[in-house]
Amino acid sequence: MAISADALQLSNLLAVLTQPDTEAIRQAELALKPLLKDPRCVPALVEILKAKDSQPPPVRHVAGILLRKRLAGHYSKFDLNTKTGLKAEILLILSQEPERTVRNGIVGVAASLAKLECGAGGTSWPELFQFIAAAAAADGQQAEARELAFWLLSEMTETIGVHLKAQFQPIAGLFSNALVPTEDAKVQKAAVKALGQLLSFLADEPEVEVFANLIPPILQVASQQANDEEFVSTVLDVLYDLAYSPSQAVGLHLVSMVHFALECVKAQSLEMGVRDSAALVIATLAEAKPKSFGKEEALVAQVLEVLFTLIENSPDSAAGALFESNPAWRQDLEDGQDPDYDPDEMDSPTETSMAQGTLDMLACEIPKKYIFQPAVSRCIQRLSSPQANHRKAGIAGLGVIAEGCSEPLREYLHEVMPHVLNAARDTDAQVRECACFCLGQISEHCQPEVLAYSEQILPIVFNLLDDQTVAVQATSCYVLEMFCERLEPDAVRPLLDSLVKKLAGMLEATTKRSVQEMAVAALAATAVAAEEEFTPYVGGVATLMTKCMALTEERLYSLRGRALECMGHMAIAVGRDTFRPYFQATMECACEGLTRDSTDLHEFAYAVFANLAKVMKEEFAPALPELVPHLVQVIGTDEGQLEPAEEEEKTGDFGAFDDSDDEDEDGGNFVLHVRTALLEVKKGAITAIGEMAAHTGSAFCQHLEAVMQVLQKAASNWHPLIKSEVADAMPNLVIPSISAYHNGEIQWTKGDLACANPMSAHTNAIVSAVLTELLALVKDDDKTTVAKACEGVQSVIELCGPHALMPIANESMQCAHDLLTKSAPCQVSEEGYGEPEDDDDHDIVTQAACDLVGGFCRVMGAQFSTYLPQFLPVVCEYAKSSRPPRDRSMAIGWLSEVAQEMEGAILEHWQGVFLPAIMAGLSDPSDDVRRNAAFCAGVCCEHLRENVVDVYPQILSGLEPLFSVDPSAGESAAACLDNVAACVARMIMTSPTHIPMPQVLPALLKILPLRTDMTENETVYKCLLGLIQMNHPDAAAQKGELQRIFNEAVSSESKVDDETKEKLKQALPALQ
């Protein structure tokens, strides 16, 4: 059949597009553009599609693609008859087209027509759905017809999801009929693809439930096609999209979804990229539905076994997570350390990285009561194995879960640490390397409990610095860095000299940049731990760092930055006077780094500015006029920008012929590119400017307006990293004004609003602006930002008093209440994933909100009585035995703060709230909870006085078992004993006649002096000195014990303050 002249002209040009001649194609495109802007191109292209006899398949294929692209621009120009005829023609062509590629193109045309009909309020083209239903029901010999039906549904995902919800049930029926074992494989695949796209599109909609019951058939079909990687990947993408679905119906299939993904993870026949996608599905389901996942005990066990087995059987380093993004480590490998090193593999997932990443997510997301014991028991079991690869998996797994399971792990350290220390001495290098990684993770995340093992850890790590394996050397430095950051000087003292010399020697001797960088970081951490005792080493270390700070090769910038960072940490350690000779050179190096095109150097420079501002204080002020404008500019820079899309991003097939190709339109041809490195730099700049405001005094006042403006803009940044840093820095803007107008301190009285506002007009304005921004951030949807904003509000009101709080009192109290009841935006955004109600793990925002309410009490005192009834039941929910220990500790600690600040105003709540909470807390299995309960009991007795003496026997009965707590079990146990002692001391001072002194006093003296909580020294010694002064007979009978305690307290090693020591010395003669 002959085609029209218009169609012939188009077909000739389309034929050129199918030829391998670039210049001819360009000329054809130029000729086609004006023709395709004419509505007559639509019937002409349809003619070409119909001309099976005269037009070759490639030309008809291109005609289908162009028809789809130009249809939207011309369709509204046609009358009803033309539209009806066009729709009929397309269905006829679909039913008769023999060529698969051409048919695919026509499917796209039909989908576009359906979208246009539905979107324009048309008839929704019922004939198309009759066509689809008939094709899907075609007999067994017509598999291609059934496949075509699902191609159409696949192309129409958005149209169906938005406009055709009334058709969901019959459409679900079509899918159900196709997902049976007897159906042809290509039909099954087409159905799964179409259904998967629809499930993904509807994942957040309630209507997804219509299709949710088809998830098991999808997984069954996918299991049958397990060797088809493209198909398996499609299914995994669907499962990923469904993970966050709020539908209960989707949640019912959690176990089967995880099982399918787990089989993919295990399948050696699949590409690592596909297996890694399957692992991501498991991790995402754990993140989205942590409670449902955790409650499936057998499922958790199966997943953990697979993950540990992968680590066992993989030859890769299980400590590699430490170095995956470390350029120095990559460079060392490229320089020939490992002859099998392949640089492309560094960015590709391995079985070990896949397993560790998934295990990390499970540990971080699943409630600890479900994940900790199964995970840690598998670690310990493997650590006892005679096989090195099993021990590697056990110690690596322990390191991986240390962050997510830090809370229960801290309580379990006494059982875990012997295994970790043994692994550090293992004969196998990979086990030793993983032991270092594990020690570093535990040192980072299990503070302060891990510090009790310093005598065992430091010598082991010291020996590992000499290990023959470079990876072990570098990882040992990492352990030192993590461990020493919180160490006290007396703990590091025995090894300080040899440690500094060893690290300095490593730095000078090694050519491995990874070891050099980690040695510098370890030196910095050692300085922080040693504090002033590092003074003798400052000169030598500074000389080494000066050499590194002079490096100008771009590949050595990270080492230069580490050296700069080390100087800042040394300054923190030894203080202003000792560091002063090195201040100028360090500043010059940092500022010179800002002239170089290196985000790394800029980031390190801002960090050192922050530290030097803390140390040098007003001596840093001369640098402000140069640095603050620079930092303001950096903070104000847009870290994302619209850039022209890559050609393949904006064109696809024949993109030059889209409707948007008119010369004056650029719609869709630009992509937002985010420069993540600039985000980190901006974060560093905000930190630096915050520390400068906090420590340089009134000199910063002249910069407040510019800084306030740029931080207000940054507070609305899209990225949580920036918002949370603004929340951290914003409260510091109040400090320069207080320095300038209040001599560094605002004098305010708790709860007193009757007096004049003690804040100057300038301070009042700054405080108002700061609190306005912080309250907005408290309502953010990012938890870290919210927690820091709560801390910021608390610090400002405690600094400035009731007059600062009153304008925002109601709003801030409502925010705190919302956070404690888990109804704030940052908490609501996590709900709705079909999760059951359950007690969650301890949460940073609830802790911050609880502390904020404590701040309200400190500022308002008894005036808080009006609000207290709203908060008591909410906070006491966290004291339930089903809550994690940190929640229970937080709740009892908050009651202590309330009692301390509100004093007698809590009396009406004593019997109903405080006393029951105290008694439950004293019998709690956690030392931290018992410690806080003892403190709360003492404070309540101190402030409620004769109103509570009738329950002294009850309180003493609750305290009695705590006198036998073993203080060597850890810091929490020792602190528990200290608070028991302080509680009894307060009870004695309040009403000694209600204490059975002959029994209680000897028990009290036996647990003295205090071991950890030095803040209670004043209370305890005031009590003992009082008993001596009143010549109490029971005190006289205990002169020997009192003499022992006082002698220990006044010794040079004692941490008792000088004033109390002097009082004790004066009392000692009376004890002779």
Spatial neighbors of 638 by CB under 8 A, at least 6 apart, are: none
**126-135, 636-645, 938-947, 1019-1028: range with lowest mean pLDDT:** 636-645
Residue of 852, 832, 835, 710 lying closest to 775 (CA atoms): 852
pLDDT at residue 332 greater than cutoff 70: no
**26-30, 197-201, 230-234, 334-338: range with lowest mean pLDDT:** 334-338
Q: Enter the tokens of residue 143.
A: 């598999």
Residue 1004 to residue 1025: CA distance in whole angstroms: 14
Q: Which amino acid is at 653?
A: D
Q: Which amino acid is at 650?
A: K
Q: Computed over its alpha carbons, how large is the radius of gyration of the chain?
A: 35
| Cβ 244 vs Cβ 199: under 8 Å | no
Which helix (DSSP H) or strand (DSSP E) does residue 193 occupy? helix 185-202
> What phi and psi, each to the nearest 5 degrees, are found at residue 670?
-125, 145
pLDDT at residue 808 greater than cutoff 90: yes
Torsion of CA 764, 765, 767, 771, to 10 degrees: 130
**pLDDT single digits (tens) 257-290:** 999 999 999 999 999 999 999 999 999 999 988 9
Spatial neighbors of 816 by CB under 8 A, at least 6 apart, are: 790, 849, 852, 853, 856, 871
pLDDT band at 334 (very low <50, low <70, confident <90, very high): low
pLDDT band at 836 (very low <50, low <70, confident <90, very high): low
Q: Please, what is the Cα angle at 178 between 176 and 179, to 5 degrees?
A: 70
**pLDDT single digits (tens) 213-228:** 888 988 988 888 888 8
**pLDDT single digits (tens) 959-985:** 999 999 998 887 888 999 999 999 999
Span 1004-1016, average pLDDT: 92
Q: Enter the tokens of residue 894.
A: 């908050």
CA dist 35 → 29, 32, 40, 153, 980 (Å): 10, 5, 8, 31, 90
Residue 335 to residue 344: CA distance in whole angstroms: 15
pLDDT of 604 reads 95
Residue of 725, 735, 560 lying closest to 639 (CA atoms): 725
pLDDT at residue 758 greater than cutoff 80: yes
pLDDT band at 478 (very low <50, low <70, confident <90, very high): confident
Percentage of the chain exceeding pLDDT 90: 54
Span 824-830, average pLDDT: 78
pLDDT at residue 122 greater than cutoff 70: no
- The single residue listed with the structure tokens 């205090």 is 1010
Q: Enter the tokens of residue 358.
A: 């998934």
Report the chain's terminal Cα–Cα distance, integer Å.
126
**pLDDT single digits (tens) 22-70:** 888 899 989 999 999 999 999 999 999 989 888 899 999 999 999 988 8
pLDDT of 1018 reads 92
Residue 573 to residue 570: CA distance in whole angstroms: 5
Q: Enter the tokens of residue 466.
A: 């000499």
CB neighbour class for 37 (10 Å; exposed up to 12, middle 13-18, buried from 19):
middle
Which helix (DSSP H) or strand (DSSP E) does residue 670 occupy? strand 670-674
**pLDDT single digits (tens) 708-727:** 999 999 999 888 999 999 99
- Kindly report the pTM of this predicted structure: 0.76
Rounded to the nearest integer, the mean pLDDT of the chain is: 87
pLDDT band at 843 (very low <50, low <70, confident <90, very high): confident
pLDDT at residue 309 greater than cutoff 70: yes
Per the model's pLDDT, the better-predicted residue between 83 and 777 turns out to be 777
Q: What is the 3-state secondary structure (H, E, C) of 350-370?
A: CHHHHHHHHHHHHHHHCCHHH
pLDDT of 753 reads 85
pLDDT at residue 631 greater than cutoff 60: yes
pLDDT of 562 reads 94
| Cβ 97 vs Cβ 51: under 8 Å | no
| Cβ 721 vs Cβ 714: under 8 Å | no
Span 879-887, average pLDDT: 89
Q: How many CB atoms lie within 10 A of CB 980?
A: 27
Span 902-926, average pLDDT: 95
Residue 191 to residue 1035: CA distance in whole angstroms: 87
**146-155, 379-388, 612-621, 935-944: range with lowest mean pLDDT:** 146-155
b vs e for 134-153, b when ≥16 Cβ sit within 10 Å of the residue's Cβ? Answer: ebbebeeeebbbbbbbbbbb
| Cβ 856 vs Cβ 820: under 8 Å | no
Span 769-774, average pLDDT: 97
Q: Please, what is the Cα angle at 372 between 367 and 377, to 5 degrees?
A: 160
pLDDT of 665 reads 40
| Cβ 715 vs Cβ 726: under 8 Å | yes
Residue 116 to residue 345: CA distance in whole angstroms: 47
Q: How many CB atoms lie within 10 A of CB 885?
A: 20
Q: Please, what is the Cα angle at 948 between 946 and 949, to 5 degrees?
A: 65
Which helix (DSSP H) or strand (DSSP E) does residue 644 occupy? strand 640-644
